[in-house]
Structure 1
Amino acid sequence: MKAVQITSFGAADVLRINDVDRPAPRAGEVLVSVEASSVNGHDVIVRAGELKMVSGRRFPIGVGLDFAGTITATGADVAGFRAGEQVWGMVHPRQRHSVAGAAEYVVVSADRIAHAPADLSSVEAAALVVAGSTALIALRDSVHLTSGERILVRGAAGGVGTAAVQLAHAMGSHVTALARDRHAELLTDLGADEVLDYGSTTSDRIGPFDVIVDTVGTELHCYRSRLAKGGRMVTVGLSPSALAAIAASSVHGSRRIRTFSANPETPLLRDLADQVTSGSLRPVIDSVYPLADIAAAHEAFEHGGVVGKHVVTVPRDSV
């Protein structure tokens, strides 16, 4: 089978589409025929060698955090799933994988998948696995957003941002989206009550907010100062400067800057599917690339300005 791997750290041109043996599921695992995967920040920093404590230095290393596709086979002791069912899921983000989601087939533990929403294509499903899970964890489990609160979503046009705008709107909050001005129409359609142009809006001229969701990872202390009394802030845009700001903010108690690593298992993926089924969440896709062009997809992600997600499809016998 074909699988995207890296044999050295570096820019997008280190990505290789290699012929590898198709894996077989062991007890508690499922084999998924992958139809689509998306490009995530995790994929890019692993490829660049910035997450060696997770990926290790032993090559080859598989690429692709998430996937959507069809179960091909199940190992022993797997309940609730059977061959032929459409699923979505992700490999474990804190483990090394020689084959990951950007491949024709992937083996994962059965507790890392769920049935995909029936009304989504595999491309649409792949666009929501990481972005939707991250937004749901941030709003529901990290900052505990409640109806009527004022929330700022910073980096609102990206994958996590577009999901957070929709979910925050569904939760009954007043949503302010901070993004490029040209994305205002889309973000309003997704549920934003107000859209601010990040190019002309400084942090000292907005707020206060009950909740801030940051997907950028810069100037965190400036935005944290725009929290109302009892406000909460979470960032998913991690960088060395972001980690320093998070540590320094611990003295502020409830108004500290929170963060987390999204690692959804079956219950959360089911909850995410419920959000789609209820109409509270829909995928936003910037562009779709065939697996053969995954390097171009990574380059586009790193270039920035993305609206929603870059998705990679996995056509058979066409790589």
Structure 2
Amino acid sequence: MDQMRAAMYDSYGPPEVLYEGRVPTPVAGPGEVLVRVHAASVNGGELAGRAGRLRLATGLISRGFPKRTGMDFAGEVAAVGAGVSGHRVGDRVWGGLGRRFGSAAEFVAVRPELIAPAPAGMDLVAAAALPGVGTTAITALRDKARLRAGERLLVRGASGGVGSVAVQLGRAYGAHVTGLAGARNLDLVRELGADEVRDYATTELSELGRFDVVLDTVGTALPTLRRLLAPGGRMVAISFDIDRLLPSLGYLFASSVFGSRRVRFFSGNPTSGLFADLTAYVDGGAVRPVVGGVYPLADVAGAHRALEAGGVGGKIVVQVG
């Protein structure tokens, strides 16, 4: 059986447990598309999973070791299974694996509803920085918060993967955007279109004023952030404090049900329609990828180490092909 290179780990632990291993190359079964992966991004959930902080959830999805890593990707169609229409060998595509890991590999076999045409003319390594975070930002601002022109938007974590796209989308939607980020990334956030930028380390949240929409990518201080909402305001939290899981989830549930300042939380699982929407935003010039570093598959541990160190502007990408 043919073998391919893939990012793997045999035990929970620090980035050093990751290595480039060999696994059977998947085939395009009926109703599937085989994609030759050019690059995949590194996401925060993968760090927690690799460290064993999500072992209950990841254990239910994939029991035993070795485990794989990588959630989204950009590449080219290598083969099309029986019953699939709309995709041809050589098509440039991007997408995700749904609720499983394994995109940091030479090939992935996916259902066609999990991919869409990649932006025209964009380098596929740079494109890999966008699928997961871009669709999350669209869902958060457009679908959950229903951000409108003229509203005030606060993006906490504005220089990160989701935050960097949210700043751009906020501008495209006609909102007044305030970005909270680390001092070394304030210029980046301003270049992405934020009307105001603030250093999170020296800014008291209570000093920021009122907002119609708050997008929190950090997951801490949720009650404080909620108090920044104007009447009728909406807060979308895309992360939560893993070390205080039950209190965080309890607060999110209660806040989503009671009061005029609603807090929404969701777990992204984008499909082709949302990936296609993201492609349209990119092709239309509203969104561009922000790449904070590119690592070869052989140094996937370095990619995880860089994201774990913090302060990355945009996304860390693992180049495969």
TM value normalised by structure 1? 0.94
1:228 aligned residue: 230
Q: Does 1:145 align with 2:147?
A: yes
Match of 2:74 in 1: 68
Q: Is the 8 A contact 2:179 2:194 kept in 1?
A: yes
Q: State whether structure 2 residue 40 is matched by structure 1 residue 34.
A: no
> For the residues of structure 1 that align with 2:56 and 2:122, how far apart are their CA atoms?
35
Runs of at least 5 residues in structure 2 that lack an aligned partner in the other structure: none
Structure 2: distance between partners of 1:104 and 1:54: 26
**Counterparts of residues 193-208 of structure 1 (less than 5 Å):** 193-208=195-210
Aligned pairs, number:
311
| Alpha-carbon offset, residue 55 of structure 1 | 2.2
For the residue of structure 2 that corresponds to 1:288, the secondary structure is strand
Q: Which amino acid aligns with 2:311?
A: G
CA contact (8 A) 1:236 1:259 kept: yes
Greater alpha carbon shift after TM alignment, 56-65 vs 208-217: 56-65
Are the counterparts in 2 of residues 217 and 237 from structure 1 also a CA contact under 8 Å?
yes
Match of 2:220 in 1: 218
- Counterpart check, 1:295 vs 2:297: no
Out of 157, 164, 181, the position equivalent to 2:183 is: 181
**Contact between 1:246 and 1:256, CA under 8 Å: does it hold in 2?**
no
Task: Indicate whether 1:4 and 2:7 are aligned.
Answer: yes
User: 1-side partners of 2:92 and 2:260: how far apart?
Assistant: 41
Structure 2 counterparts to residues 221-260 of structure 1, below 5 A: 221-240=223-242, 241=244, 242-260=248-266
User: Larger deviation: 170-179 or 118-127?
Assistant: 118-127
Letter in 2 for 1:51: L
Give the match's secondary structure for 1:261: coil
CA contact (8 A) 1:55 1:61 kept: no
How far apart, in 2, do the equivalents of 1:254 and 1:83 lie?
A: 51
Distance in 2 separating the partners of 1:43 and 1:30: 24
Amino acid at match of 1:24: V
**Alpha-carbon distance, 1:243 to partner:** 2.5
Which one of 301, 305, 311 corresponds to residue 311 of structure 2? 305
Aligned mates of 1:255, 1:68 — CA distance in 2: 38
How far residue 258 of structure 1 moved from its aligned partner, in angstroms, is: 1.0
**232-241 or 109-118: which moved more?**
232-241
Q: SS in structure 2 opposite 1:292?
A: helix
Matching of residue 13 in structure 1 with residue 19 in structure 2: no
Deviation at 1:252, TM superposition (A): 3.3
Counterpart AA for 1:143: A
Q: What's the secondary structure of 2:39's corresponding residue?
A: strand
Q: Distance in 2 between matches of 1:30 and 1:124?
A: 22
The structure 2 residue matched to 1:280, chosen from 286, 289, 292, is: 286
TM-score, structure 2 as length reference: 0.93
* Partner-residue secondary structure (3-state), 1:102: coil
Structure 1 position 207, deviation (Å): 1.7
In the alignment, which of 149, 156, 161 is matched to residue 154 of structure 1? 156
**Bigger mean CA offset, 156-165 vs 183-192:** 183-192
Aligned residue in 2 for 1:129: 131
SS of alignment partner, residue 24 of structure 2: coil
Q: Write the distance in 1 (CA, Å) between the matches of 2:137 and 2:55.
A: 26
Aligned counterpart for 1:43 among listed residues 14, 34, 46: 46
- Counterpart-to-counterpart distance in 2, 1:258 and 1:174: 21
1:106-164: per-residue Cα shift (whole Å, max 9, x none)?
A: 11111100010012111111000111111110001111101110000001010100000
Question: Structure 1, residues 263-296: CA drift from partner, whole Å, max 9, x if none?
Answer: 1100000000000011100001111111111101
- Amino acid across the alignment from 2:20: I
Deviates more, 1:256-265 or 1:289-298: 256-265
Corresponding residue number in structure 1 for 2:26: 23
**Cross-structure match for 2:64:** 58
Taking every aligned residue pair, what percent have the same amino acid on both sides?
51
**1:183 positional shift:** 2.1
CA RMSD, aligned part only? 1.3
The whole-number CA distance in structure 2 between the counterparts of 1:248 and 1:267 is 31
Offset at 1:239? 2.3
Question: Equivalences for 1:112-127 in 2 at 5 Å?
Answer: 112-127=114-129
Q: What pairs with 1:83-122 in structure 2 (closer than 5 Å)?
A: 83-93=89-99, 95=100, 97=101, 100-122=102-124
